[in-house]
Chain A
Amino acid sequence: MYRKVNVPFELYEIQILTASDEELARISEEMGLALNVDEMKRIKEYFRSKGRNPYDIELQSLAQAWSEHCCYKSSKYYLRQYLLEAAEADYVISAIKEDAGVVEFDDEYAYVTAFESHNHPSAIEPYGGAATGIGGILRDVLCMGAQPIALIDPLFFGNLDTPYEGLPKGTKHPLYLLKGVVAGIRDYGNRVGIPTVAGMVFFDDSYLTNCLVNVGCVGIVKKDKITHSRAGGPGDLFVLAGGKTGRDGIHGVTFASAELDEKSEEEARGAVQLGNPIMKEPLIHACLEVVEKGLLTGMKDLGGGGLSCVIGEMALAAGYGAEVYLDKVPLKEEGMAPWEIWISESQERMMLTVRPEHIDEVLYIFQKWDVPATVVGKVIPEKITRIYYKGYKIYEMDTEFVTAGPEYCRPYISKKPEKELHEEIEPPADYVKVFMKMLSHPNVAFRDWIVRQYDHEVRGSTVLKPLQGRMNYETHGDAAVIKPTKSFKGLAITADVNPWMCKIDPYWGAASSFDEMVRNLVAVNAIPHSFNDCLNFGNPEKPERMGEFVECVKAIGWMAKGTAIPCVSGNVSFYNETPYGAVAPTPSLLGIGVVEDVRKAITSDFKGNGIVILVGETEKEFGGSLYSVVMGQRCHRVPRTSPERLKAYTDAMLESFKKFEVMACHDISMGGLAVAVAEMSFGRGVGFEAARELSFIELFSESNTRWVVELKAEDAESYVEFFKNRGLKAEVIGYSEGEMLNFKTFAIGLGEADKAWRRGMSEYLV
């Protein structure tokens, strides 16, 4: 089936024209292509029409381009149906089409966002996997010509108290993974000098064999400097800039497009790339300098699939083809076969297209920054990609055939939680005990062990930090606020998803996650402006998993369209599944809000001597709630929401911030009102006295679209009136004062509660 070609380097002809279906499957398996027989047959047909067999490099190239990771073959159909329409708004400059979304910030600037997963590599090698995740997302933003200004990292692990003896074979302990991932993000993000300002960490058994590492990045670019991922025209030179190419990260995308198992460790180590932030840091400067000087026609980062994906896509996006001289690519090691060079995912590389008259200037700038840059090819008029290696032509395919990956409309089965589960929510026998359990739950407890290891202030533009309140004893903020330009306009950034809710009811869980994202932005006085989604699911070939995906996408599309908040970029990660099970459906959302004046951003800590008001409507909605988990009570009713209601409350809240001097605001999410109030108290050591007895439903239900607001006493009445006049609900529930958390139903000393909350997660980590 394989014939060595008589050339002075390693090259094989793969005899697929004569291969049977079984042999095609074997070829795919043996070459690590992860293509199925139908896909292999399509390739066979193509080469039959060309009258020849493919070379190894051509098959490998197709395997990259047609992987789930690169071409979204399982998700595209449903994304188009439910989500693409939600990408529209008149201020969106570029959505979905490129590596990052581009949205208008003001007359002069646009902001750029990207969000993706780095799950499989992080499960195998947490430090390197997470670090290169940060590296990759920075490049996605950089390739639009933008200066990265913030990093975001939602993380998902198995429970920290998992006994070591109970670990499935080949699985690493969640503590090891958490520490490794945080160290990877820390050492890369801090070194490269971009602040990590937001994120989340969530523990659930479903992530035990498959942790999730999502990484987001926000950048800022002058509108007239936005650079696109396409070449200018024939004759443009392809310049490969940055790190050298090695054998690290070969088959990264095909590895990411299959389930992990106990053998993945030994088989896939080589698929994990190695990061080098000290190559990235000057690479960013050099790229931005050539952008600023207007020396490029296009730029794209090398991510999944390496050179094989970037060159064809850049040429074809402009309506052309490419000629590549593969032996010009600077290598880390000798003896690499051409196909390895072509698909390697070595890090810290960018592809630029440059008019020949600008090439000397571009190469000088890179040399000045000590960043290697090499001409490796040129744009040609016909839509063909050709590769030469040491004078031999080793690759010639129609670019459109390579990039037109398959698309599947996979069958799915939707969950019907109300039929499968039953309600059994009861009030607690011992309120204090239950409340303490909730506060110390690792999904709620203080995150400073993680947050302080990330430099969240480098660049000097972080106005609202992730931790807020008195020095060294802060509380969690709802969203970080960055001031990206000279003006006082800012960007609010948050990352949210509620996997417990999504597990019970993917539709309402995803809708609730969207609601939470919007609430967090509103809480800091930001206008919700756009969002990205990173959709993490199990094996899409299983109809139940596909059902979870479709329900989540439907819900997000519905909420986005109804609230007119556009989805500008995103990523789908399937196959987060092992023989031990799949991850909870995890549609992570990265929300961006615009803050009209950063000096008016609102913090979450009680300032004291104020009136505390609950805005929103509370129902008995405990599905996926912290209360139900802590109590071990089952409940199918995941909190409902609607875009109309969310929009009405959002508008009213933002209007109220203009009319009233709001001292503090916090959204109500996991743990309900009681936990929200407690977090506000912890920030400055200011207690809470309820105005009346609050029921367990009022205290612990996680109904959507609710906030807690602190105001001066004299404003309280007119504030409540303001909402009532709009047909919305707001109520005085207590006072920010004293040294107790007194809900009338029960009370506990603030110090005791504070201690439980601060230690809940970190006690596992020291």
Chain B
Amino acid sequence: MERDEIRVAVLRMEGTNCEDETVKAFRSVGVEAESVHVKQFYSDMIRFEEQRSIFDYHCLVFPGGFSAGDYIRAGAIFSARVKSALRKDIEEFIKMGYPILGICNGFQVLVELGALPGFDEDRPVSDKPEMALAINDSSRFECRPTLLKKESKKCVFTRKVNKNTVMFPVAHAEGKVTFPSGKEDEYVERLLSNDQIVFRYVDDKGNYAGYPWNPNGSYFNIAGICNATHTVFGLMPHPERAFFGYQVGKREGYGDGYCIFRSVIDYLEKL
């Protein structure tokens, strides 16, 4: 696919709030990107020229924010809306090899939706969530920079990340990766064997470390994972906030987040 043919949809609903900067990041790597309200995929009241199909796009993004306020579990309402109206389309989209990215609240949405950890290639959206992003160990919202060690070779969103460790900021109250009680190691094993663990929190010396380096108490220091096909990726830290150099205190060039967007476009170009 040519780069200028690639179309990216950043999905929004009430309470999502990182769509503008996410769209901007994609546009900066030379593809067409727009914010799309989920209603544009299914609601009758939307005018013809604003109606959209998932298959108008080659990459879907669930951005950060507080979809529907996150007054119950984070991401629960957004995922329920998507699941009820669009499950079949999303499954087909994933099976066709098109990538989906979930950042922060978007990661929570993908987990609630059952698209992550996404062990089953044939049923890329599971009936029930298999993991959760629980309240941070500090019990507080944490807005701070984090260091992430790249762990996956196959994830289509990190293939062009050529550094060992990257810096993306986090900003969330519910980001603690949690697996079913008693089965944590089993899950980690399975993720490891499939090369699905993408980023883990480390300290400034590159060691897996506790708070504040691991800002939420995530199991196994997990910051982001992908599904079994390595095309659906969710992470708590915000690569779009470390996209441009000026966002991370550099006078020129890009921040570490650039490579995430660059990687997936590279993947699509070769598709």
Partners in one complex: yes
Tell me the A residues contacting B by CB distance below 8 Å: 186, 190-193, 277-279, 281-282, 364, 367-370, 451-463, 470-472, 483, 488, 598-599, 603
B246–A599 CB distance below 8 A: yes
B141–A186 CB distance below 8 A: yes
Known A-B contacts A278-B15, A281-B17; the reply to A368 vs B46 at CB < 8 A is: yes
| Distance in angstroms between the alpha carbons of A472 and B17 in the assembled complex | 25
A460–B17 CB distance below 8 A: no
Out of A190, A451, A460, A472, name the residue touching B24 (CB < 8 Å). Answer: A460
Chain A CB within 8 A of B5 CB? no
Which of A367, A370, A460, A462 is most buried by chain B, counting CB atoms within 10 A of its CB?
A: A460
B39–A455 CB distance below 8 A: no
| Distance in angstroms between the alpha carbons of A598 and B244 in the assembled complex | 12
| Distance in angstroms between the alpha carbons of A483 and B245 in the assembled complex | 12
| Distance in angstroms between the alpha carbons of A523 and B46 in the assembled complex | 50
Out of B20, B47, B70, B141, name the residue touching A455 (CB < 8 Å). Answer: B141
B169–A457 CB distance below 8 A: yes
Chain A CB within 8 A of B128 CB? no
Interface SS of chain B: helix, strand, loop or mixed? mixed
A-B contact pairs, 27 of them (CB 8 A): A190-B141, A190-B171, A191-B15, A191-B17, A191-B70, A193-B18, A277-B15, A278-B14, A278-B69, A281-B17, A367-B45, A368-B37, A452-B141, A452-B142, A452-B143, A454-B143, A457-B238, A458-B64, A459-B18, A460-B18, A460-B20, A460-B243, A472-B144, A472-B212, A483-B246, A599-B246, A603-B249
Please give, as numbers and ranges, the residues of chain A lying within 8 Å of B76 by CB-CB distance: none
Please give, as numbers and ranges, the residues of chain A lying within 8 Å of B212 by CB-CB distance: 472
B246–A457 CB distance below 8 A: no
Please give, as numbers and ranges, the residues of chain A lying within 8 Å of B213 by CB-CB distance: 472
Counting residue pairs across A and B whose Cβ atoms lie within 8 Å, the total is 100
Chain A CB within 8 A of B247 CB? yes
For B, the interface residue count at a CB cutoff of 8 angstroms equals 42
Please give, as numbers and ranges, the residues of chain B lying within 8 Å of A369 by CB-CB distance: 14, 37
A458–B66 CB distance below 8 A: no
Please give, as numbers and ranges, the residues of chain B lying within 8 Å of A456 by CB-CB distance: 143
A458–B15 CB distance below 8 A: no
Chain A CB within 8 A of B161 CB? no
In the complex, chain B residues 232-271 whose Cβ is within 8 Å of any chain A Cβ: 238, 240-241, 243-244, 246-247, 249, 251-252
| Distance in angstroms between the alpha carbons of A413 and B151 in the assembled complex | 70
Chain A CB within 8 A of B89 CB? no
B241–A460 CB distance below 8 A: yes
| Distance in angstroms between the alpha carbons of A192 and B64 in the assembled complex | 11
Q: Which 10 pairs between the two chains have the least Cβ-Cβ distance?
A: A193-B17, A460-B21, A278-B69, A191-B66, A455-B171, A282-B14, A599-B251, A453-B141, A278-B15, A472-B212
**Chain B nearest Cβ from A683, distance in angstroms:** 12
Chain A CB within 8 A of B86 CB? no
B68–A458 CB distance below 8 A: no
**Chain B nearest Cβ from A191, distance in angstroms:** 4
Chain A CB within 8 A of B97 CB? no
| Distance in angstroms between the alpha carbons of A278 and B14 in the assembled complex | 6
Of all chain A residues, which has the CB nearest B211? A472
Chain A CB within 8 A of B3 CB? no
| Distance in angstroms between the alpha carbons of A455 and B65 in the assembled complex | 10
| Distance in angstroms between the alpha carbons of A599 and B246 in the assembled complex | 6
Please give, as numbers and ranges, the residues of chain B lying within 8 Å of A192 by CB-CB distance: 17
Chain A CB within 8 A of B145 CB? yes
Chain A CB within 8 A of B204 CB? yes
Chain A CB within 8 A of B223 CB? no
Of all chain B residues, which has the CB nearest A186? B141
Of all chain A residues, which has the CB nearest B238? A457
**Chain B nearest Cβ from A326, distance in angstroms:** 28
A453–B143 CB distance below 8 A: yes
Known A-B contacts A281-B17, A458-B171; the reply to A193 vs B65 at CB < 8 A is: yes
Of all chain B residues, which has the CB nearest A367? B45
Of all chain A residues, which has the CB nearest B167? A471
Of all chain A residues, which has the CB nearest B45? A367
Please give, as numbers and ranges, the residues of chain A lying within 8 Å of B70 by CB-CB distance: 191
Chain A CB within 8 A of B147 CB? yes
